[in-house]
């Protein structure tokens, strides 16, 4: 099985994950404060040349090499002396004579009847190979430099929370891991397309498809170092963040996040050696406490959300649907306890489907499973319902366009609902229309 951008099936992160019981969709629990954000194997980068492949150059690129100078007619060219070879045989080097480097025996050794032997050819080191590519200005399109700059300044994922320094380390690793480089560039391109005046959609999807393919290849073999596992995990987090900026990414978002949950259990063995070592439930909540708002906001949207959720309860027949319903209900009731409790319950909502079998999960995200589609879009809008109640209004927002994407997902679900289910989307329509010109704050999901 492979993990493709438009295929609603979980990526091949763990062979054991899909063996979970199809009906093991128990009520959600808040994430344990001691649970780790990850767990077991990725693969290794054994190639010194495993670097980002430069995309085709756009027209008008100034990075092309200048044409070679033509010879001046009528002028004789001075004869250049021969270059001294370092690859001659040992006998010729010792005798300080020119070796014609013939194999298996050079001409001088054959003439003198000597045993001819050569030094082992030196393999270029990984450092040398990296340096050669990095200093070559034509090796990277100017567009990619722009994508990389956008990632570094605004587009890096919101997880790990307040993890700017982590993504600086991850971006440095991208020079050694193609899958990480492509996921970084794809996220940067999507961010510019959504927030700028230039459309880089094709470039973003090209990088994305390549990154997903490489992640799948990496996951087919075990990791040999913490750096390899970090590269896989970082690439997947970038892919999730990019999915949140794609107009048709609603169901794929859950495919990606489920895959990330499995990676959290199965990729990184050595937390202490990982750049993501602070990405635990306990540390995540510690960082949230630093910015969480103590102000008592207006609960009107929360109460309306609650009523809409209860209204559709009788449509839910599958255990998976009830588990997701209970997870959102816990967010509502926890908000009456404290913003911190509500945020913790919302984080746990992403763990609900991590243990489902592939069949159960695929049925849940099926675009023709309309009760589930209503549940899913309620979950995305809950992010924005809780945001103003948990975050201070002064908190910076690096991705205001994400709100428009989620609204687009909501309207797409409403447009596809059969007539008999339209009434269950009434709050979704009302809130989406208000959100379009309202508060952007959300719980900093990727």
The ranges assigned to domains in the chain are 143-279, 291-436
pLDDT in tens, the chain (446 residues): 444 444 444 343 333 333 333 444 444 444 443 333 333 333 333 333 333 333 343 343 333 334 444 444 444 444 444 445 567 888 887 777 888 888 888 888 887 778 888 877 654 444 333 333 333 344 457 889 999 999 999 888 888 777 778 888 888 888 889 999 999 999 999 999 999 889 999 999 999 999 999 999 988 876 667 888 889 989 999 999 999 999 999 999 999 988 887 777 655 555 667 788 777 777 778 888 888 877 778 899 999 999 999 999 999 999 999 999 999 999 999 999 999 999 999 989 988 988 899 999 999 999 999 999 999 999 999 999 999 898 888 877 777 889 999 999 999 999 999 999 999 999 999 999 999 988 788 887 76
Q: Alpha helix locations (H) across 41-140?
A: 90-95, 107-112, 126-134
Query: Token match 């567009």: residue?
Result: 143
- Give pLDDT tens digits for 139-152: 457 889 999 999 99
- Token pair 């004579």 in the structure block, residue: 97
pLDDT of residue 247: 92
Phi-psi region of 292 (alpha: psi -120 to 50; beta: other; left: phi over 0): beta
**Angle formed at CA 433 by CA 427 and CA 438, multiple of 5 degrees:** 110
- State how far the Cα of 302 lies from the Cα of 235, in Å rounded to an integer: 34
Segment (H or E) for 185: helix 178-195
């Amino acid at each position: 099985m492979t993990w493709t951008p438009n295929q609603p099936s979980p990526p091949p992160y763990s062979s054991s994950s899909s063996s979970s019981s199809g009906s093991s969709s128990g009520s959600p629990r808040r994430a344990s404060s001691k649970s780790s954000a990850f767990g077991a194997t990725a693969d290794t980068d054994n190639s010194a040349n495993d670097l980002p492949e430069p995309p085709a150059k756009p027209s008008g690129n100034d990075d092309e090499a200048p044409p070679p100078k033509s010879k001046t007619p009528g002028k004789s060219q001075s004869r250049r002396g021969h270059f001294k070879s370092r690859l001659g045989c040992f006998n010729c080097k010792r005798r300080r004579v020119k070796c014609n480097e013939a194999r298996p025996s050079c001409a001088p050794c054959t003439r003198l009847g000597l045993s001819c032997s050569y030094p082992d050819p030196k393999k270029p080191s990984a450092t040398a190979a990296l340096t050669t590519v990095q200093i070559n200005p034509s090796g990277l399109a100017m567009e990619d430099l722009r994508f990389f700059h956008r990632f570094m300044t605004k587009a890096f994922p919101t997880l790990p929370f307040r993890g700017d320094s982590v993504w600086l380390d991850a971006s440095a690793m991208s020079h050694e891991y193609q899958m990480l480089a492509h996921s970084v560039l794809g996220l940067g391109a999507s961010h510019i397309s959504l927030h700028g005046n230039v459309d880089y959609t094709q470039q973003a999807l090209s990088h994305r498809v390549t990154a997903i393919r490489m992640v799948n290849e990496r996951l087919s073999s075990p990791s040999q170092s913490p750096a390899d596992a970090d590269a896989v995990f970082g690439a997947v987090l970038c892919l999730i963040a990019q999915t949140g900026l794609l107009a048709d990414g609603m169901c794929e978002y859950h495919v990606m996040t489920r895959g990330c949950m499995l990676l959290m259990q199965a990729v990184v063995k050595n937390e202490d050696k990982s750049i993501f070592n602070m990405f635990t439930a306990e540390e995540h909540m510690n960082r949230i406490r630093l910015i969480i708002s103590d102000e008592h906001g207006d609960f009107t949207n929360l109460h309306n959300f609650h009523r809409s959720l209860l209204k559709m309860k009788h449509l839910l027949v599958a255990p998976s649907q009830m588990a997701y319903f209970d997870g959102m209900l816990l967010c509502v009731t926890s908000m009456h306890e404290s913003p911190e409790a509500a945020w913790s319950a919302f984080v746990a909502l992403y763990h609900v489907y991590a243990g489902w079998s592939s069949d159960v999960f695929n049925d849940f995200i099926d675009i023709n499973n309309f009760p589930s589609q209503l549940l899913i879009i309620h979950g995305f809008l809950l992010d924005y319902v809780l945001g103003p109640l948990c975050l201070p209004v002064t908190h910076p927002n690096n991705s205001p366009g994400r709100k428009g994407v989620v609204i687009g997902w909501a309207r797409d679900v409403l447009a596809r609902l059969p007539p008999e289910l339209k009434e269950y989307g009434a709050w979704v329509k009302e809130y989406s229309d208000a959100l379009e010109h309202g508060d952007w704050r959300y719980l900093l999901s990727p």
